[in-house]
Structure 1
Amino acid sequence: MEGETEQGRAALHELPLFLWLSPAFPVGAFAYSHAIEWAVECGDIADGVTLENWLKDLLEHGAPHNDCILFAQAWRFVRDGGDAELRELNDLAIALSPSRERHLETIAQGNAFLSAVRAAWPCKALQDLAFDGDVAYPVAVAVAAAGHGFALRVSLEAFALALIANLVSAAVRLGPLGQSEGQRILRALTPHCRALADFAEAATLDDLGGAAFRSDIASLKHETQYSRLFRS
């Protein structure tokens, strides 16, 4: 197309990512708060400032940080034909869940994503994927992205931002902030999502780790929270 830039062509090529990572894609992401519901209940998240700080910590030290590293490694295994390594990576991704609800969060979304994308967006990598059990969400999305030839960096940025957008949406539904404040937070955290994508693109499994203990504890507390809107 006349006047189309290389960057524009790349963006169009990865356009399905916007569908796969949108709230409309049938993975049930709207049902999970990643323990934000407990954080709101106990007062750790009380307004936009505390939510922004909580989410920034997750990007730098929590599960989203590790999920992006796992995503990048899974993408590379698909590219390089490392089927056995991919299965081991998936086992590791599931094992890293620190609570029953985090385990449910990653496998329920991973399995649902895989089912939906295979039906509507088939490719060889998805056809050849032969796991005996559950699939972790970052691994499932990475396999689809790599199988369709989507660039790793763009895929990582979209994945990280979608994770954070879902958590902001959960916080808005829980009531400590409104829609406009939620959008302000997403704008403020977008550079942090890009920074995480930049880090994860070059990271190895040795870089896995975390220190978001309050979030992990919240996921345990949420299991017995008396009144709940979310599954995690």
Structure 2
Amino acid sequence: MTTPEAQAPVRSAAGLLQILWLASPALPVGGFSYSEGLEAAVDAGLVSDEASAANWLTDQLHLGLARADLAVVAQAIAAWRGGDLERIGTLNRWVLHTRETLEFRLQSEQMGRSLLEWARQLGDLGEGVFEQLQAARLDPPTYPVTCACAAARTDASVRDSLLGYAFGWTENMVQAAIKSVPLGQSAGQRMLARLARQIPDAVDHAMALTDDRRQAFTPLLAILSARHETQYSRLFRS
């Protein structure tokens, strides 16, 4: 007879694997299509080598992702698990209203819709993610809120879910740096190592934020994103 104690590690392993799945660059949501202003920073000469790219992404992790999207994901996971659809709608609108440029907003909308479609295609294997997203009637769904829904259906902790979300973002951004600076794969691995050491502090900061302390304010990034919308030659959609 299997005891509850013997079953617990299996559940935890399953939750961890699902978070790794959500964080994987292979997830068909199109994250690889975006540089989130990094390509424009390269064009402006603000990022030109491994050191400047690593510094740029470290700042973006702490000043942008941690204070906005990671905080939203943490709060949305709790709301999804509690069935608070009104709260989910509020968080989704906050993401839409705080995207500082059109291309940033379109990125969040496109990735959110793609994750919704991913959940629909999984059917029963999606463990009710699609049905829960449909019930929330998000129009349009944003990526942080839809990703939180998928994470909430696992038994992973909020912190582990945020660690996965942040590392998935980091992998995409390092790949964007490799292509746009450009850099070699070894430089990319060094950047990943540096950013991975920063992620736990960024996650802990995000989890401590309340609604009145959550913010989306990165003026230089917004300026670069606006310039990128009309940049003559580019690899990425943002």
TM-score by length of 1: 0.91
2:35 corresponds, among 29, 33, 36, to: 33
Q: Look up the SS of the partner of 2:126 in the other structure.
A: coil
Alignment pair present for 1:150 and 2:152: no
Quote the Cα distance in structure 2 between the aligned partners of 1:122 and 1:25: 13
Deviation at 1:203, TM superposition (A): 2.2
- Report the count of equivalent residues: 230
- Map of 1:98 onto structure 2: 100
RMSD value, Cα: 2.1
Instruction: Spell out the pairing of 1:75-114 with structure 2 (5 A cutoff).
Output: 75-114=77-116
**Structure 2 gap segments, 5+ residues each:** none
Alignment pair present for 1:188 and 2:194: yes
Alignment pair present for 1:123 and 2:127: yes
2:76 corresponds, among 71, 74, 77, to: 74
Q: Relative to 1, partners in 2 of residues 1:203 and 1:109: Cα closer, same or farther, differing over 3 Å?
A: same
Paired letter, 1:219: S
Instruction: Spell out the pairing of 1:135-146 with structure 2 (5 A cutoff).
Output: 135-146=141-152
Quote the Cα distance in structure 1 between the aligned partners of 2:11 and 2:19: 14
Quote the Cα distance in structure 2 between the aligned partners of 1:184 and 1:65: 25
Q: Relative to 1, partners in 2 of residues 1:183 and 1:65: Cα closer, same or farther, differing over 3 Å?
A: farther
Paired letter, 1:60: H
Paired letter, 2:200: R
Per-residue CA shift, 1:184-230, capped at 9, x if unaligned?
A: 01111112111111222232222212443221211111001001111
Tell me, yes or no, if the aligned pair for 2:116 and 2:146 is still in contact at 8 Å: yes
Aligned structure 1 segments of 4 or more residues deviating by more than 4 angstroms? 6-9
Instruction: Spell out the pairing of 1:165-204 with structure 2 (5 A cutoff).
Output: 165-204=171-210
Paired letter, 2:205: F
Quote the Cα distance in structure 1 between the aligned partners of 2:79 and 2:161: 15
Tell me, yes or no, if the aligned pair for 1:38 and 1:221 is still in contact at 8 Å: yes
- Map of 1:227 onto structure 2: 233
Deviation at 1:132, TM superposition (A): 4.5
Paired letter, 2:126: P
Q: Relative to 1, partners in 2 of residues 1:10 and 1:131: Cα closer, same or farther, differing over 3 Å?
A: same
Quote the Cα distance in structure 2 between the aligned partners of 1:197 and 1:115: 27
Tell me, yes or no, if the aligned pair for 1:40 and 1:176 is still in contact at 8 Å: no
Deviation at 1:27, TM superposition (A): 0.6
- Map of 1:16 onto structure 2: 18
Quote the Cα distance in structure 2 between the aligned partners of 1:11 and 1:192: 24
Tell me, yes or no, if the aligned pair for 1:57 and 1:212 is still in contact at 8 Å: no
Deviation at 1:114, TM superposition (A): 1.6
Paired letter, 1:95: H
